[in-house]
Structure 1
Amino acid sequence: MNLTVRRWPLVGRERELRSFASVWAEPRYSAFVICGSAGVGKTRLAEECLEGIAREGTRVGRATASRAASVVPLGAIAHLLPSGVDLSDPVQGFAAVTRKLSGPDQGQSVVLVDDMHLLDETSAVLLRQLMDARVVRIITTIRTGEVVGNAVDALVRGGNAFCVELQEFNRDEVEQVLEAVLGSRVGRRTLNTLFTASGGNALFLRELVHGAVALGTLDSRGEIWELTGGRLPSTWQLAELVKQRLATAAPQGRPVLELLALCGTVPLADAEAAATTQVVADLEDTGLIRTLSEGRRATVALAHPLYGEVLRDALPTVRGRILLKAQAERTENWGARRRDDALHIANWRLSTTGTADPALLLQGAVLARYSCDYQQAVTLLRALPHHTARSLLLLGASLFENGEPEDADEVLLQAEGLALTDKERLQAVFIRSMNLSWNCGDAADALMLNDAARTQLTGPGEQRMLRVNEGCLRLMMGEPARGLTLLDDLDEDPLQAPNLGIWLMASLLRPPVLAAVGQSRKAVDQARRAYNLRCRLNDPAPLVLFSNVAYLISLVSALNHDGDIAEARELSQRAWDELSSSRDRPLPWILLPYQQAATELLAGHIGDARRWYAESAAQCRAFQNHQMMRRVLSGLAATAALQGHVKVAEDMRREALSYPESFPPDREEYLGQAWLLAAHGRLDQARQVLADGARSAREDGWASIEAQLLTDIARLGGAAEVVHRLAELAEHGEGTLPPVRARLAAALADDKPDELLAVADELQNLGMDLLAAEAAVTASAALSRAGDDRRAAAAAGLAATCASRCQGARTPLLRAAAPTAVPLTEREREVALLAADGLASKDIAAALHLSTRTVNNHLQHVYTKLGISSRQQLLGHFHSTR
């Protein structure tokens, strides 16, 4: 891929292209006018329209109006006029031009006029005459807000002109453009950064991407493009474009622009104090600033975030300090009445003098933490000249949530030493234990820390909270029964808990674990209640205030185990909307795509599942979080193998094993290994891996995880081996998944088409398309063998419909259960799949612990049953059924 090309794919303007095609088919329209602000893609769209016309054989021309050309009559279009025409007399000359261009061998021409608002009046009059004479049709672009002359206005108005106005791209359109340009998906954090920085402006977006790629800060590791480093790089072309735009401001407006670049949003009165009311109004008229209404208060901000970048780069340090000092004084003189004023004043004072009032710094840090700006909180707290236990607890919690575990532990240890009360000591122990378990992946050390605290903090409230904290740690260590028992001590009302942070963590961890042990309905109910309670907590008092997004992720996990795919998807999108509009700690960026991957894997939408596993892996790398890497890379391996991308799956599996084991249950590791073996045709070994995983899950009490692994054993030819255990799990489990999994295994074991079709319908209604497709295609094969061709065709149609939503899934059932005259045995299927993958008979024999002669005998039986005579035909058969 070459990102140095100047023209990007035209993505996100499909509606406008359809409008053009419709308009151009109507002869009454002689002008197609594209309006919009600078950089939204007017010229790019106009060029695409012109090229489409040229491909049809129409004669086309192009002119670009400019301020320089506008001082010369016909300067912009002179090169398009026929030679030998005397234009000294415009009336006669224009008539002659019309006659020459309308000759019998000429035909109608199409002219693109870029930046029509800059066209000179003479050119506009001539073009109008040519349009009225049906000699020329025009495609033109006009920048919104520009003043145009009367002749130009007449040219693009009226019933014969059709106008469209281009807007900036929305977030989804930016994602489409980036994927088209880069060739693969872009991480959500990177998407948010690029969308915010560009404001959806196509030209700005292009320059930002080119600058980042050129410097290597936008790179693809794995299957997702991610930005690395701090500040988003630009290009000199983009800087010049922004400078030209800012140069349209009068000199008197510069202080206002610089103030907004430094402060972001300021009250309208403060902007007017930096200049005059008229200057501020002029800046708004030229589109450099925008006025916002916040209740009864009017505020002002720059119209585009890139304006601030360029202004700050050009602003001398001393002048910047003077502006910030004046703004801090203005805000203090107004009484600093708004909630976030303390945060702003602390930042401004710190920037201008290197220090600020300690009380102001502390207040600002609390507000920064509440808005999830943990890095800002760290900056303010580190500026304190002296620390107390409370300030160190705030700093340690901010470092923990900012993903800096070593610094967090050091600070929290100091806080514990300065603590004057048991409440402060409990806070220090709690946050240290969270830091050890969540960021360092060391729940055992966290448990030792908690146990030591129980000998020191002897109050009944503290003892109860330490038991609850131990319960959370036990859950993270893979001890669900013991952990859930300890969480029975959790208060019903969070505001009655001696430590709200511990209550919040427990209410966050309990639902996913309940769901994983088979109590999915209870888990969903508790997750809903916890989320609703969290939404009502507006007091920033807790040191660790898990965000709403974290509770949505917990609820999505419970819904996945309950089999409610539709609501899990809906809540995932709500979580992205909240996460995209705010800063947050690293874990939600890792766990949200991980849970979405689980949703799509359950649905059998393998491409989407693979995309979200890749997103989660990219965020693990970005935040240097190794705790989840083995899990998500194993998920990537499983989904790649399910799509038949064996080499990718092998690479992901190899990389996954280079990371430490994550806390249980780690179903992805078993799935990655098993589906990779299945892709190679080693179904016996794949079933053994899954059986080992199911046994481990059963021993630890993870009933839902066990059921999923057993179901995959059934899909890989071992239904008879697992049908009774799945029936037991269905009898004791909650939700829709346990019984439908048990019925699927029973239908596969019995090979009864009616049962298979019934469960296929049920699975399709639940949105589990891949399992539905496998059940239906197996039913079709059974019906075909029974001679019921009509029902076999209907079942095959259902299978095809479901499989079409599975994004290239290639499972053994879909590959080998196509209707045949005589069914293949399980061993014959294994041998056939290995042979289709190119293995020689001796290699197949070694893999399956058979003799080479036995392998060849099986192959001959396969050839006879399938009506083929060679390995090449065998490959063709399985290729057609994949």
Structure 2
Amino acid sequence: MTGPAGAGKSRLVAQAVQDLEGVAWVRATASAAEIPLGAFAHLVPQTPPAGNPLSWAAAAIDAATLVVDDAHLLDPVSAALVHRLVLDGRVRVLATVRAGAAAPDAVVALWKDDLVPRLDLEPLSPAETEDLLAAALGGRIETGALARFWETSQGNPLYLRELVLSGVLRDVGGLWLWHGTLTLTSTLRETIAARIGELTAEERDTVELLAYGEPLGLDSPVLERLETRQLITVQPDGRRLQVRLAHPLYGEVIRDSCGTLRTRAVLRRLAAMIEATGGRRREDVLRIAVWRLDGGAPGDPALLARAAEQARSVRDLALAERLARAAIEAGGGVAVRLSLATILSYQDRYAEAEEVFRQLAESGLTGDRRVDCATTRALNLQWGLGRLDQALQVLDAADDGQISVDGRQGLGFVAGAITAFGGDLDAATARLDAAQRLGPPSSRAMRAGGVTRALVLAAAGRATDCRAWIETLLARLGPDADLYPSMTNSLTEARIRIALSTGDLPEALRLAEHARRQDDWARTSAQFGAYRATALRLAGRVGEALAAAGEAVALLPPRSVVAGSCLGELAHAQALLGDVAAAEATLARAQDAAVAAGPATEVPLQLARVWTLAARGDITGAVEIALAVAASPYPTYAMVGLHDLVRLGHPAVAAARLAELTVDGPLRALLVRHATAATPGDLDEVSLGFEAFGMLLHAAEASATAALAYRDLGLLRGARAAETRAWTLTRRCQGAHTLALLDLEVPGLTPRQREVAVLAARGLTNREIAERLVLSIRTVANTLYAVYERTGVNDRAALADLLDARRE
């Protein structure tokens, strides 16, 4: 069995032989290799006889199975003995060998000559790493933390174990997150140090440079030796060679061994090396600034300011803030203070950002700086603090008649964005058009206006126009588009919204998953994690939606612009799975965590309230909230609210409005057919339509409603077929349970009887039910009596047991 150190060779072999009798172990070591048969000293007599030592030693091995651990460290005589034992066949031999290590010829011959089979232990894949960590931790590990664990360990089980023991993970509601800075355990540090081994002064100098600065284009005579020892990797990069350490943990151990003064000296040397070559690569600005800062010689505030912006663009916001503050301390002016405010906003520290913006605005800014401050401040006010009116006032006040056309355009585009987020799509479009008429926009203005227009078109449900506009925008920007992750993420959001509104759930899921993994920013990961949960929920994969939403929520700070969508999806999934208490607790958390910044932040919470109330049995309350969503200024949200009314048993209320909506795509037409279905056969067709979209829970609900309609008409064969289909679909929805499916549990109840039955099963008294449904107590009592007659039970406890048993 071969594999790298820490791959688990010894552990696996021990597991393989633990139930066998007559097992002998030989553990080879470098020190024992100096003595012939040193590794076998405990298995053979002290004094060898004259003659053939191999025959004598082989005869002395009194074991059915021999395990040779680290056989590559055997002395030549011991290796020959193992070879002899294999040839004799009297003893079964299991040996472990470190991959890449030089081994005695007799050991190599074991697999080279096919005397024994060879098993190579490969590093764990990311999926295998996830499974192993989940088993060890007793819970799921967040996607970003999993990626860091795999990248740091490279799939090595020993390294994984020690990383877990380092305490870098934190349990947040059953989800493990990477928290803080990695501190290596003593075992891991010693294991890595032993693997690195002794280094010459030149070799040490080179690996220190790599530990702090990799990848580097180096040309040193020691590189060949380090590569031969598998301590570095060398890849051609044009005319240069890019050199890295062979494992991420090598750098951790080497940095740990450097004192403060040595570290500073290495960092200053790295900065000088890159500056001497002209710092031609885009990332060199950030690297030089960080090296200079950490090396104790921060230098030019302009360099620090540019580096802060680069760090923000790659979402290393803690580093960006540190660089910006260093630039200010070094004498940086308005530009870097504006950068700091933006960085604070990106970290969801909206109030702190507003204070910096306010101070800048009151300092008498002019020209482009005035515009830059106003636009970023306005976005912070809207997204972070929910102050729509104040945001627009800031933009209006910034146009003092002295700014450029480009500046006025920027103000107009951002005003359009804020107006759109507030919900007035027509006014937003008018602002965008007015700004566009000012003249050909700059690249920056084009990005701001283009993204806003894409999101407006998506919210309006104009999928065809939205797709065409995104393609036009990207074509105009050309290859520079990839340099702006915020713009890319916003366009992806627009694409997801039109995928959801047209019923293309696989595309929505693909886009959300890709965006979530592409960006290291916690806000983006949470935002697209919520979209992922939406797509999974609509697909009927409600258990997976719960997990996805939980992961998104775990990434949230105490207050965030994306908290509404994340917490809304979590509560929605909890409600559909029948965990009303958890859903209500999640919605209560949202009161402090979410920012009321418009429909995109508010509607997900409203939809969750609809189904939380429905799960509690308050259908009247659920309908009221659904009606509010149906009145949303975003047609795509209005479509969902109207269809929720259909699902809650009120199709007549929604049918006309659904038909009037101008949302593109085939999904709206299917929702209209659902609202206007006049016969059980119509509902059968609707169910098939939902299944074709992959919307299994909706399909199950339509079939359940069809079954009830068949039964009312006395068509029992059709009712049984629809019920069977509804049951089959429901079992694929991972435990979801909604009002429309209740008739599967207690057949033959009217909508009012179902509503009363759910509330009674939850323990409400007749008076409490009457107050909630605005009925007389007598009406509730009579209705409940009819439920008992229909179900064959005679009290609330039995009714609750019946409903629970039917669900199972």
TM-score, normalising length from structure 2? 0.88
Q: CA deviation at 1:446?
A: 1.8
Aligned partner of 1:683 among 599, 619, 624: 619
Aligned position for 1:15: none
User: What CA distance in whole angstroms lies between the structure 1 residues aligned with 2:373 and 2:286?
Assistant: 25
Aligned position for 1:246: 196
Instruction: Indicate yes or no: 2:151 matched with 1:151.
Output: no
User: What CA distance in whole angstroms lies between the structure 2 residues aligned with 1:221 and 1:687?
Assistant: 34
Matched residue SS, 2:118: strand
Instruction: Indicate yes or no: 2:129 matched with 1:174.
Output: yes
Aligned partner of 2:166 among 191, 211, 215: 211
Aligned position for 2:8: 41
Aligned partner of 1:467 among 388, 412, 432: 412
TM-score, normalising length from structure 1? 0.81
Q: CA deviation at 1:617?
A: 2.0
Amino acid of the residue matched to residue 420 of structure 2?
L
Distance 1:360 1:539, change over 3 A: farther
| Gap runs ≥5 in structure 1 | 1-32, 102-108
Aligned partner of 1:644 among 578, 582, 597: 578
User: What CA distance in whole angstroms lies between the structure 2 residues aligned with 1:124 and 1:856?
Assistant: 89
Amino acid of the residue matched to residue 397 of structure 2?
A
Matched residue SS, 1:710: helix
Instruction: Indicate yes or no: 2:786 matched with 1:861.
Output: yes
Instruction: Indicate yes or no: 2:168 matched with 1:224.
Output: no
Instruction: Indicate yes or no: 2:183 matched with 1:233.
Output: yes
Aligned position for 1:427: 372
Aligned position for 1:692: 628
User: What CA distance in whole angstroms lies between the structure 2 residues aligned with 1:779 and 1:746?
Assistant: 13
Distance 1:249 1:682, change over 3 A: same
User: What CA distance in whole angstroms lies between the structure 2 residues aligned with 1:430 and 1:509?
Assistant: 14
User: What CA distance in whole angstroms lies between the structure 1 residues aligned with 2:356 and 2:482?
Assistant: 24
- The answer (yes or no) to whether the contact 1:868–1:874 under 8 Å persists in 2 is no
Please identify, of 799-808 and 65-74, the stretch whose mean Cα deviation from structure 2 is larger: 65-74
Aligned partner of 1:67 among 30, 39, 42: 30
Aligned partner of 2:730 among 772, 791, 803: 803
Aligned position for 2:635: 703
Instruction: Indicate yes or no: 2:584 matched with 1:618.
Output: no
Aligned position for 1:872: 798
Aligned position for 1:445: 390
Amino acid of the residue matched to residue 174 of structure 1?
T
Instruction: Indicate yes or no: 2:503 matched with 1:566.
Output: no
* Deviation readout 1:593-640 (Å, 9 max, x if unpaired): 12222222222221222223223322222xx43333344323212211
Q: CA deviation at 1:74?
A: 6.0
User: What CA distance in whole angstroms lies between the structure 1 residues aligned with 2:715 and 2:22?
Assistant: 62
Amino acid of the residue matched to residue 327 of structure 1?
L
Where does 1:606-755 land on structure 2 (aligned, <5 Å)?
606-621=542-557, 624-659=558-593, 662-665=596-599, 666-695=602-631, 697=632, 701-729=633-661, 732-747=662-677, 750=678, 752-755=679-682
* Deviation readout 1:447-492 (Å, 9 max, x if unpaired): 1211111244465543343222211111222322222221223549
Where does 1:329-478 land on structure 2 (aligned, <5 Å)?
329-358=272-301, 360-361=303-304, 364-365=307-308, 367-368=310-311, 371-384=314-327, 385-405=330-350, 408-409=353-354, 412=357, 422-457=367-402, 459-478=404-423
Instruction: Indicate yes or no: 2:698 matched with 1:771.
Output: yes
Aligned position for 2:759: 834
- The answer (yes or no) to whether the contact 2:766–2:777 under 8 Å persists in 1 is yes
- The answer (yes or no) to whether the contact 1:490–1:503 under 8 Å persists in 2 is no
User: What CA distance in whole angstroms lies between the structure 1 residues aligned with 2:238 and 2:451?
Assistant: 35
Aligned position for 1:301: 244
Aligned position for 1:328: 271
- The answer (yes or no) to whether the contact 1:436–1:443 under 8 Å persists in 2 is yes
Please identify, of 66-75 and 330-339, the stretch whose mean Cα deviation from structure 2 is larger: 66-75
- The answer (yes or no) to whether the contact 2:723–2:744 under 8 Å persists in 1 is no
Q: CA deviation at 1:715?
A: 1.8
Q: CA deviation at 1:313?
A: 2.4
User: What CA distance in whole angstroms lies between the structure 1 residues aligned with 2:21 and 2:778?
Assistant: 70
Aligned position for 1:17: none
User: What CA distance in whole angstroms lies between the structure 1 residues aligned with 2:615 and 2:693?
Assistant: 26
- The answer (yes or no) to whether the contact 1:550–1:588 under 8 Å persists in 2 is no
* Deviation readout 1:694-722 (Å, 9 max, x if unpaired): 34x2xxx2222122122222222223433
Matched residue SS, 1:817: helix
User: What CA distance in whole angstroms lies between the structure 2 residues aligned with 1:357 and 1:349?
Assistant: 10
Q: CA deviation at 1:298?
A: 0.5
User: What CA distance in whole angstroms lies between the structure 1 residues aligned with 2:351 and 2:715?
Assistant: 68
Instruction: Indicate yes or no: 2:425 matched with 1:480.
Output: yes
Please identify, of 344-353 and 279-288, the stretch whose mean Cα deviation from structure 2 is larger: 344-353
Instruction: Indicate yes or no: 2:100 matched with 1:164.
Output: no
- The answer (yes or no) to whether the contact 2:447–2:487 under 8 Å persists in 1 is no
Q: CA deviation at 1:766?
A: 1.0
Aligned partner of 1:201 among 139, 147, 156: 156
Q: How many residues are paired up?
A: 803
Matched residue SS, 1:219: strand
* Deviation readout 1:44-80 (Å, 9 max, x if unpaired): 44455556xx4xx887665544335555666656778
Distance 1:313 1:532, change over 3 A: farther
Aligned partner of 2:441 among 497, 507, 510: 497
Q: CA deviation at 1:209?
A: 2.2
- The answer (yes or no) to whether the contact 2:234–2:244 under 8 Å persists in 1 is yes
Amino acid of the residue matched to residue 511 of structure 2?
L
User: What CA distance in whole angstroms lies between the structure 2 residues aligned with 1:539 and 1:715?
Assistant: 42
- The answer (yes or no) to whether the contact 1:841–1:855 under 8 Å persists in 2 is yes
User: What CA distance in whole angstroms lies between the structure 2 residues aligned with 1:150 and 1:169?
Assistant: 29
Q: CA deviation at 1:408?
A: 4.5
Q: CA deviation at 1:267?
A: 1.0
Matched residue SS, 1:354: coil
Distance 1:340 1:857, change over 3 A: closer
Q: CA deviation at 1:849?
A: 4.8
- The answer (yes or no) to whether the contact 2:470–2:491 under 8 Å persists in 1 is yes
* Deviation readout 1:193-236 (Å, 9 max, x if unpaired): 33333333332222222222xxxx5323335322334x223322
Matched residue SS, 1:834: helix
User: What CA distance in whole angstroms lies between the structure 2 residues aligned with 1:378 and 1:134?
Assistant: 68
Please identify, of 327-336 and 288-297, the stretch whose mean Cα deviation from structure 2 is larger: 327-336
Matched residue SS, 1:207: helix
Distance 1:284 1:660, change over 3 A: closer
Distance 1:741 1:160, change over 3 A: farther
Q: CA deviation at 1:359?
A: 5.4
Instruction: Indicate yes or no: 2:202 matched with 1:257.
Output: no
- The answer (yes or no) to whether the contact 1:388–1:418 under 8 Å persists in 2 is no
Amino acid of the residue matched to residue 741 of structure 2?
L
- The answer (yes or no) to whether the contact 2:516–2:525 under 8 Å persists in 1 is no
Matched residue SS, 1:225: strand
Please identify, of 252-261 and 200-209, the stretch whose mean Cα deviation from structure 2 is larger: 200-209
User: What CA distance in whole angstroms lies between the structure 2 residues aligned with 1:122 and 1:815?
Assistant: 78
Please identify, of 798-807 and 611-620, the stretch whose mean Cα deviation from structure 2 is larger: 798-807
Q: CA deviation at 1:268?
A: 2.0
Amino acid of the residue matched to residue 491 of structure 2?
Y
Matched residue SS, 2:486: coil
Aligned partner of 1:115 among 65, 70, 87: 70
User: What CA distance in whole angstroms lies between the structure 1 residues aligned with 2:491 and 2:250?
Assistant: 36
User: What CA distance in whole angstroms lies between the structure 2 residues aligned with 1:654 and 1:742?
Assistant: 34
RMSD: 3.8
User: What CA distance in whole angstroms lies between the structure 2 residues aligned with 1:366 and 1:382?
Assistant: 12
Distance 1:206 1:815, change over 3 A: farther
